[in-house]
């Protein structure tokens, strides 16, 4: 299976049909939202059934999909599905589907994206979590959101990813962020950041966060980083408790070749990818990051205002009183 069609520049589904009509980047990869036009024949439901509300709608969703598709597989143990930073050996019932419907929160969406990292499958996230930046369909709107995906009304949002390689041999793909940080027993670590072979700065800090636009609203935001529009391209570099107050978050161009060198640490530094441990780096170790050549296709329901999602999730208001 070739997940990309170099002739059209559009990301293609398992059946070979293009996912949607988003415009293309110089790399032949869709980089702006567009209609999700692929024919969906097979689907996987990835459900976090530890949430009571998920169990209530799962039978109805199963019937809706069975009535319209040729094959529907269900995984009810979402919390242990692809629990690591890299999940190359995850077995999916029925093979790679045309669509993944997630019943859960952002963590479940990230698990699905890790499982299909090599062959990106469009994900429709139905939010049963607390935040839901990556799961834009509210639980009460699950039926309308699902029908949008099946009938060509959903919007495909191509999301930039990061290809991560450690000098110790580990490699994986991040949709949200990569965090290099001190161990709990250690003090600050000394790190050197390079972009395209040029030294950017040396940091004495608790660590560094490298966030995609999708991940700019996660740990990076909590550490003072900026919010990037989800479908843009670029990498946010946010220091964690930097010793020098002059160190501020940076936004690097998407094609930057990024390297981080561990200059000094008493204990191996931890590397986490999308909230899951990838490995550790000793003093002298290096982490390299670059934009993955393929974006990941996330789906949103028709008519969704992307800024409303941020307003709702972050509690933005025009005034300080609740009545605004």
> 91 and 194 share a domain?
no
Q: What gap in Å lies between CA 45 and CA 156, rounded to an integer?
A: 18
Residue 89: predicted pLDDT: 63
Question: What's residue 14's pLDDT?
Answer: 54
List the beta bridge partners of residue 177.
211
- Crossing angle (nearest 10°) for helices 52-68 and 142-150: 30
Give me the number of domains the chain comprises. Answer: 2
* Among 25, 14, 20, 3, CA closest to 118: 3
For each of the chain's 324 residues, which pLDDT tens digit applies? 333 333 233 445 554 555 554 433 333 345 788 999 999 999 999 999 988 899 999 999 999 999 999 999 999 988 788 888 887 667 788 889 999 999 999 999 999 999 999 999 999 999 998 778 899 999 999 999 999 999 999 999 999 999 999 999 999 999 999 999 998 777 899 999 999 999 999 999 999 999 999 999 999 999 999 999 888 899 999 999 999 989 999 999 999 999 999 999 989 999 999 999 999 999 999 999 999 999 999 999 988 777 777 787 777 876 656 554
Report yes or no: 97 and 120 within 8 Å, Cβ to Cβ: no
pLDDT at residue 80, as a whole number: 82
**What's the pLDDT score for residue 164?**
98
Return the pLDDT at 32: 81
Q: Are 106 and 229 within one domain?
A: no
For residues 208 and 301, membership in a common domain is answered with: no
Distance in angstroms (rounded) separating the CA atoms of residues 162 and 155: 22
Q: Is 94 left (phi over 0), alpha (psi -120 to 50) or beta?
A: left
Has residue 12 been placed in a domain? yes
Q: Which one-letter DSSP state was computed for residue 12?
A: B
Residue 160: partners with Cβ closer than 8 Å, 6 or more residues away: 212, 213, 214, 232, 233, 234, 254, 291, 292, 295
**133/180 same-domain check:** no
What does the pLDDT look like over 261-284, one tens digit per residue? Answer: 999 998 999 999 999 999 999 999
Residue 319 lies in a domain: no
H-state helical runs in the chain: 52-68, 106-115, 142-150, 219-222, 306-314
Judgement on whether residues 27 and 154 belong to the same structural domain of the protein: yes
Kindly state the percentage of the chain with pLDDT values over 90: 70
Same domain, 148 and 63: yes
The CATH number covering residue 183 comes to 2.60.200.30
Domain of residue 151: give its range: 4-160+294-314
CATH number of 73's domain: 3.40.50.10330
Q: 303 with 282, same domain?
A: no
pLDDT digits (tens, 9 = 90+) for 93-115: 888 999 999 999 999 999 999 99
- Integer Cα distance of 160 and 32 in angstroms: 10
Residue 196 lies in a domain: yes
What is the Cα–Cα distance from 132 to 124, expressed in whole angstroms?
12
Residue 321: inside a domain: no
Cα distance between residue 267 and residue 290, in whole Å: 26
Do 18 and 148 lie in a common domain? yes
Residue 40, pLDDT score: 96
Q: Residue 291 and residue 213: Cα distance in Å, rounded?
A: 12
Give yes or no: residues 173 and 272 share one domain: yes
Catalytic residue positions?
106
* Residue 13 located in a structural domain: yes
Residue 220 lies in a domain: yes
Query: 71-75 and 42-47 as β-strands: parallel, antiparallel, unpaired?
Result: parallel
Residue 324 maps to a domain: no
Are 146 and 252 members of one domain? no
128 and 204 in one domain? no
Q: Is residue 205 located within the same domain as residue 63?
A: no
Dihedral, 215, 218, 219, 221 alpha carbons, nearest 10: 100
Indicate whether 322 belongs to any domain: no
């Amino acid at each position: 299976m070739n997940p990309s069609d170099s002739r059209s520049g559009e990301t293609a589904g398992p059946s070979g049909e293009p996912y949607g009509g988003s415009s293309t980047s110089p790399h032949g990869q869709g980089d702006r939202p567009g209609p999700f036009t692929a024919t969906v024949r097979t689907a996987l439901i990835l459900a976090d059934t530890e949430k009571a509300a998920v169990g209530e709608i799962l039978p109805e969703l199963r019937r809706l999909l069975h009535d319209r598709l040729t094959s529907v597989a269900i995984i009810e143990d979402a919390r242990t599905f692809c629990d690591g930073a890299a999940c190359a050996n995850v077995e999916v019932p029925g093979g790679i589907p045309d669509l993944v419907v997630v019943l859960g929160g952002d963590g479940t969406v990230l698990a699905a994206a890790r499982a299909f990292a090599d062959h990106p499958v469009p994900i429709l996230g139905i939010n049963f979590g607390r935040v839901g930046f990556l799961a834009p369909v509210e639980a009460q709107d699950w039926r309308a959101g699902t029908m949008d995906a099946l009938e060509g009304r959903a919007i495909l949002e191509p999301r930039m990813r990061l290809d991560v390689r450690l000098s110790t041999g580990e490699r994986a793909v991040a949709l949200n962020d990569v965090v290099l940080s001190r161990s709990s027993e250690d003090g600050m670590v000394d790190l050197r950041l390079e972009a395209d072979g040029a030294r950017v700065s040396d940091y004495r800090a608790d660590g560094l966060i490298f966030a995609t636009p999708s991940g700019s609203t996660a740990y990076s935001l909590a550490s003072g980083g900026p919010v990037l529009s989800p479908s843009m391209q670029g990498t946010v570099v946010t220091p964690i408790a930097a010793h020098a107050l002059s160190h501020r978050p940076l936004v690097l161009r998407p094609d930057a070749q990024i390297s981080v060198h561990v200059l000094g640490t008493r204990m191996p530094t931890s590397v986490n990818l999308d909230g899951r441990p990838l490995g550790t780096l000793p003093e002298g170790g290096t982490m390299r990051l670059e934009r993955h050549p393929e974006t990941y296709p996330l789906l949103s329901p028709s008519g969704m205002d992307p800024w409303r999602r941020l307003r709702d999730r972050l509690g933005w208001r025009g005034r300080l009183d609740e009545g605004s």
